[in-house]
Amino acid sequence: MSKLEIKDLKVQVQTDDGPIEILKGVTLTIDDGETHAIMGPNGSGKSTLAYSIAGHPRYQITGGTVTLDGEDVLQMSVDERARAGLFLAMQYPVEVPGVSVANFLRTAKTAIDGEAPKLRTWVKDVNGVLERMNLDPTFSQRSVNEGFSGGEKKRHEIAQLDLLDPKVAVLDETDSGLDIDALKVVADGVNRFREREGKGVLLITHYTRILRYIKPDHVHVFVAGKVAESGGPELADELEANGYDRFLKAAAV
């Protein structure tokens, strides 16, 4: 089972000119096995939502709740959230010089499972995932995200999704900056994850392109820190045809 419930979430960040409210009451429920796409123009607060769920210290929660299977996510530390079953695939994954991908993956897997993975099956699992993500076997000896191409960074994020096997994955613009081949590899990785029992996905994107490969159950249009409209996959088609104008105008009124 996996159910991520976001209720009336309000978030602000500190700036030189004082606090600015970015999320102005977001309500969203991702039920067992569902994939939701959040679409919106730049600056609408999509990434803030992703980082707030993951617990980035820059974002201050000023109201609302986030629960995973009834557990209060907002009370958990960043690493506790991950161990509870949340995963954030980042738009800009961070370089960690000198820490090899192999060491990183094993340390993360050990932390999530509470015990070290069995060596023999683990090596096989890692190699299998890297191969499916079209990453060279020598990839695991490189430093985490250091010198990776944009595509390698995103494929590495999805390789982690596969290996760490969370309950709910938040994908923050995983499609941005990818060419069509890399996009397909990433989408295949996400779809393999979705095929597993009861996995939730929150797919944050600026473009409709990725929705041709990952079919969402629900689509939400995000404008000015709020969900402006929710619907089925047909809402994405409308956005593809008409863009965000209708929603931006409505928000401006």
Partner 1 sequence: MSTAVDTTAAAVEMEHVESHLHPEPTYDLQAHPLPTGREEIWRFTPLKRLRGLLQDAPSDGHLEQKLELPASVTLTAISLDEASALGGTAPFDRLGALAAKNAGGALLLDIPAEADVTEPIRVHLHGTSLDEIVWGRLVVRIGTQARATVVIEHSGSTTYDAFTTVLVGDGAQLDLVHVNDWADDAVHAEQINARVGRDATLRQFEFTLGGDLVRTSTNVDYAGPGGTAELFGLYFADAGQHFEHRLFVDHTAPKTVSNVVYKGALQGEKAHTVWIGNVLIRKVAEGIETYEENRNLVLTDGCQADSVPNLEIETGEIAGAGHASAVGRFDDEQLFYLRSRGIEEAEARKLVVRGFFDDLIRRVTVPELAAKLSSQVEEELQRHVLKELA
Task: Note the residues at the interface with partner 1 (CB under 8 A).
Answer: 54-57, 77-79, 81-83, 87-88, 90, 93-99, 103-104, 107-108, 111-112, 143-144, 160, 164
Spatial distance between the Cα atoms of 13 and 34, rounded to a whole number of angstroms: 30
**Cβ at position 168, least distance to partner 1 in Å:** 13
Distances (CA, A) of 127 to 41, 58, 114, 148, 221: 37, 35, 22, 18, 38
Q: Note the helical H segments in the chain.
A: 46-54, 78-84, 101-113, 119-132, 150-164, 180-195, 234-242, 245-252
Of 104 and 122, which has the nearer Cβ to partner 1? 104
Question: Min. distance of Cβ 172 from partner 1 in angstroms?
Answer: 11
Query: Do 239 and 39 form a contact (C-beta atoms < 8 A)?
Result: yes
d(Cα 226, Cα 177) in Å, to the nearest integer? 25
CA 114 – CA 80 distance, rounded (Å): 12
- Least distance between partner 1 and beta carbon 53 (Å): 10
Nearer to partner 1, 144 or 214 (CB): 144
Q: Which is nearer to partner 1, 40 or 55 (CB)?
A: 55
CB of 54 to partner 1, least distance (A): 5
Eight-class DSSP state of 116: P
Nearer to partner 1, 57 or 70 (CB): 57
Q: Which two tokens stand for residue 34?
A: 């569902």
In the complex with partner 1, the residue whose CB is nearer, 9 or 54, is 54
Least distance in angstroms from the C-beta of 252 to partner 1: 34
Name the residue nearer to partner 1 (CB basis): 164 or 186: 164
Q: How near is the Cβ of 85 to partner 1 at its closest, in Å? A: 10
Gap between the Cα atoms of 235 and 238, Å rounded: 5
